[in-house]
Chain A
Amino acid sequence: MLEIKVGQGSCGISAGAGKVYDALQSALAEQKIDANLSVTGCIGMCFLEPIVDVYADGSLTRLVRVTPKDVPAIADFLRTGDASAVASLVIADEDSAFLSKQTRIALRNCGVIDPESLADAAAHGGYAALRKAVTEMTPEQVIDVIKVSGLAGRGGAGFPTWFKWNAARQSAGSEKYLICNADEGDPGAFMDRAVIEGDPHALIEGMLIGAYAIGAKEAIVYVRAEYPLAIRRLEKAIADAKAAGYIGDNIFGTDFSCEFRIKAGAGAFVCGEETALIESLEGQRGMPRLKPPFPAQSGYWHKPSNINNVETFANVAWIINNGGEAFAAMGTDDSKGTKVFALTGKIKRGGLVEIPMGKTLRDVVFDIGGGMRADKAFKGVQLGGPSGGCVPRELIDTVIDYKKLSATGAIMGSGGMVIMDESTCMVRMAKFFLEFTTKESCGKCVACRIGTKRLLEILTRICDGEGREGDIELLEDLCARIKENALCGLGQTAPNPVLTTIRYFRDEYEAHIRDKRCPAGECTALVRYAIDPDKCRGCSLCSRKCPVGAISGEIGKPFVIDSALCIRCGQCAEVCKFGAVRKG
């Protein structure tokens, strides 16, 4: 029997997977091809979407960058088994290596199973760990296994999971809550979305095991409202799991009972902070609470609560099935298991990468990611989003491990990894993140509310060519004060992008301030456009496109830009067919 799976995560759908699926469906019906067509989640090779996997007698043919136009050729292949019909679509070996070089635990079923089928999840081992935990283990034993595994929070802080579970278990009271933080707010991170869209049962199972361990009778997933597909698939998975008896009363005939629900967030980055998330769950503005008391003592409705992130929970069932030692066997002394990264930016092969801790940034960027697009020079990698930092080229051999990454001034974070090349301005990068944190600051504490605003103003004037001597020192001083005085993690880490870019790219700041020059050519106010007389053919196209009439010349002879009139919109460079407009 032929099995056809079309990757339909959000990224696949954006790339047109839905249309490919529809076209395949009608082709199968019209040509009476006996094949089982289904949907699967994101396999993580976003750069190759839409992806169609064809399984014939267990052997896989992976077709990439498929469009509806390719469907007739695919139908030929399905009928005849002759792969030459689809030769141009078959994945290249070097692209296959993107997956084969990974170790997938959290993403074990993503892109493999149909996320909307409980039967498919169960056939791939779903809920076996839950059964084992509740029927064969005590909650303390579950916590012990997690302790042995060394699993730490994958949301950013890297706090040992067993410790949080144990603290919630030890807290007095019978009403406890288990909460999943699926408010994946870091721009550039989408691993949690991929897990929920691709394997929602892994999350549900991990959460139920967590609920059993801490003694919670209710589990809640707080999902970003911007993830409608994830919410829809999770709703279906919860309903199916409930119908199968995995959620509800007396799970697997034991006296463990647990209810399960989703709460859609409404768009606020600060709600990724656990106490702000709790406020939001209670229907309030998502403003952080003072800690202590920690949620393990007093959380949702002031009851003991435990909050973990999606990827953390996605590892739990695997650990229960395979033992804590198997998980701990991977990684470094400090960091165990695997970590998922969302690889994006100026990278050749972008997507989801899950690798054991202890690999280097180079392994991810060059070995798996294939290096820079357009073969430009690699400049650095931004880790951990607005709370993280930029790691420069010189530190590309840094080992991926909580402590080693923190030592660079960046953080492991939730796993966003944005690659930058020579055309990325680092001052602008810092400004970009401060724009974000300023917008997202909840306003509760002065250090963050006003401090980030002042940081942004200084960065803006530097990018606008109005930077002053002493601005770098002023930024550093302000950063130190914000770190020290902000109430929550958002504020305390907001200066990180500024501090790391100053630490590693100080010369770029100096070029902006002293020489009024943007080395990457990205800051419009500091860019000058000029026409290379050797390349210009005098076609006048740029002159006609220029919105302010700053370009003049005679047809057939080199044109000239009057930089006093030029507003640096770049349209001349965009339209020139001869590459004659230089930016510098």
Chain B
Amino acid sequence: MDDNSKLRELRAVLDTYRGIPGSLITVLQKAQGIYGYLPQDVLGLVAAELDIPPARVFGVATFYTQFRFRPVGKYFIELCKGTACHVNGADTIARTITETLGIADGETTADGLFSLKCVACLGCCSLSPVMMVNGETYGSLTPAKVRDILSQKRKEAQDNA
């Protein structure tokens, strides 16, 4: 989708919710759905259009973990850090990802291929430790299994390129 059609879509969202009190979070969710993250000028536009001070829009956006302010990589890794995953070794899995890709929680690799985000609980506790890559769940992880998955993804990206 090009920039113009994204903007058109965002304006349609703003038109729907303008005047409905309490809908800022919903608008931000929809904006992130359109852009993949919340660029600064989008936050500014939301503030102006909903007549909410930019500081408040930014305050709300940064309060919730769902919102991102930078684009994410081609493969978005969500690593579960819930209690069951913790008990079953999520820390080791996190270390493996960090060592393999050179990125910590919240970072993206320089080639834009992988982003890592640690999340509270994916609710697949019986498969712990668990991670999701672009929405697909990988369970009962071991360091070796994680290294395999990551190199598979890297190969997949190279093959597509």
A27 at the interface (CB under 8 A from B): no
Bitwise interface map of A from 179 to 208 toward B, beta carbon under 8 Å scored 1, else 0: 000000111111001000000000000000
Q: Please determine whether A49 and B126 come into contact, CB atoms closer than 8 angstroms.
A: yes
13 residue pairs bridging A and B, Cβ less than 8 Å apart: A10-B123, A11-B123, A190-B125, A266-B25, A282-B21, A344-B83, A344-B126, A346-B87, A385-B83, A424-B87, A436-B81, A571-B143, A574-B142
Bound complex: CA A282 to CA B60 (Å): 11
Q: Please determine whether B28 and A187 come into contact, CB atoms closer than 8 angstroms.
A: no
CB contacts (< 8 Å) of A436 on chain B: these are 81, 120
CB contacts (< 8 Å) of B13 on chain A: these are none
Known: A285-B59, A432-B86. A269 touches B120 (CB 8 A): yes
A489 at the interface (CB under 8 A from B): no
Bound complex: CA A346 to CA B126 (Å): 9
Q: Please determine whether B120 and A185 come into contact, CB atoms closer than 8 angstroms.
A: yes
Q: Please determine whether A14 and B137 come into contact, CB atoms closer than 8 angstroms.
A: yes
Q: Please determine whether B29 and A264 come into contact, CB atoms closer than 8 angstroms.
A: yes
Q: Please determine whether B127 and A14 come into contact, CB atoms closer than 8 angstroms.
A: yes
If A264-B26, A419-B87 are given as contacts, then 12 extra A-B residue pairs at C-beta distance below 8 Å, sorted by A number, are: A46-B124, A187-B83, A188-B83, A188-B84, A188-B125, A226-B122, A283-B22, A283-B24, A301-B22, A344-B126, A351-B126, A432-B83
Nearest first, the 6 A-B pairs at minimum CB distance are A46-B126, A266-B64, A188-B83, A187-B82, A267-B65, A344-B125
Q: How many A-B residue pairs have CB under 8 A?
A: 131
Q: Please determine whether B22 and A266 come into contact, CB atoms closer than 8 angstroms.
A: no
Q: Please determine whether B144 and A266 come into contact, CB atoms closer than 8 angstroms.
A: no
Bitwise interface map of A from 256 to 293 toward B, beta carbon under 8 Å scored 1, else 0: 00000001111111000000000011111110000000
Which B residues between 77 and 115 are near A, CB-CB below 8 angstroms? 81-84, 86-88, 92, 95
Interfacial residues, chain B to chain A (CB-CB below 8 A): 21-26, 28-29, 59-60, 63-67, 81-84, 86-88, 92, 95, 119-128, 130, 137, 139, 142-144
Q: Please determine whether A418 and B67 come into contact, CB atoms closer than 8 angstroms.
A: no
Bound complex: CA A503 to CA B126 (Å): 29
Q: Please determine whether A11 and B127 come into contact, CB atoms closer than 8 angstroms.
A: yes
CB contacts (< 8 Å) of A14 on chain B: these are 122, 124, 127, 130, 137, 139
Q: Please determine whether B66 and A225 come into contact, CB atoms closer than 8 angstroms.
A: yes
CB contacts (< 8 Å) of A267 on chain B: these are 64-66, 120
CB contacts (< 8 Å) of B122 on chain A: these are 14, 226
Bound complex: CA A125 to CA B34 (Å): 41
A416 at the interface (CB under 8 A from B): yes
Bound complex: CA A360 to CA B86 (Å): 25
Bitwise interface map of A from 542 to 572 toward B, beta carbon under 8 Å scored 1, else 0: 0000000000000000000000000001110
CB contacts (< 8 Å) of A351 on chain B: these are 126
A15 at the interface (CB under 8 A from B): yes
Min distance, Cβ B52 to any Cβ of chain A, angstroms: 8
Bound complex: CA A442 to CA B60 (Å): 12
Q: Please determine whether B67 and A266 come into contact, CB atoms closer than 8 angstroms.
A: yes
Bound complex: CA A225 to CA B137 (Å): 17
Q: Please determine whether A15 and B127 come into contact, CB atoms closer than 8 angstroms.
A: yes
Min distance, Cβ B143 to any Cβ of chain A, angstroms: 6
CB contacts (< 8 Å) of A419 on chain B: these are 87
Bound complex: CA A382 to CA B143 (Å): 26
Q: Please determine whether B63 and A345 come into contact, CB atoms closer than 8 angstroms.
A: no
Bound complex: CA A276 to CA B160 (Å): 46
Bound complex: CA A84 to CA B59 (Å): 62
Bound complex: CA A282 to CA B26 (Å): 10
Min distance, Cβ A372 to any Cβ of chain B, angstroms: 12
Nearest chain A residue, comparing its CB with the CB of B120: A187
From B123, B128, B142, residue with most partner A Cβ within 10 Å: B123
Bound complex: CA A284 to CA B84 (Å): 31
Q: Please determine whether A193 and B123 come into contact, CB atoms closer than 8 angstroms.
A: yes
A227 at the interface (CB under 8 A from B): yes
CB contacts (< 8 Å) of B82 on chain A: these are 187-188
Bound complex: CA A285 to CA B124 (Å): 28
Q: Please determine whether A285 and B60 come into contact, CB atoms closer than 8 angstroms.
A: yes
Q: Please determine whether A187 and B81 come into contact, CB atoms closer than 8 angstroms.
A: yes
CB contacts (< 8 Å) of A268 on chain B: these are 63-65
Q: Please determine whether B121 and A187 come into contact, CB atoms closer than 8 angstroms.
A: yes
Q: Please determine whether B144 and A574 come into contact, CB atoms closer than 8 angstroms.
A: yes
Nearest chain A residue, comparing its CB with the CB of B128: A344
A350 at the interface (CB under 8 A from B): yes
CB contacts (< 8 Å) of B127 on chain A: these are 11, 14-15, 46
Min distance, Cβ B15 to any Cβ of chain A, angstroms: 17
CB contacts (< 8 Å) of A420 on chain B: these are 87
Bound complex: CA A418 to CA B128 (Å): 12
CB contacts (< 8 Å) of B29 on chain A: these are 225, 264, 266
Q: Please determine whether A282 and B22 come into contact, CB atoms closer than 8 angstroms.
A: yes
Q: Please determine whether B125 and A342 come into contact, CB atoms closer than 8 angstroms.
A: yes
Bound complex: CA A344 to CA B86 (Å): 11
Which A residues between 398 and 431 are near B, CB-CB below 8 angstroms? 416, 418-420, 424, 429
From A49, A187, A225, A569, residue with most partner B Cβ within 10 Å: A187
CB contacts (< 8 Å) of B22 on chain A: these are 281-283, 301
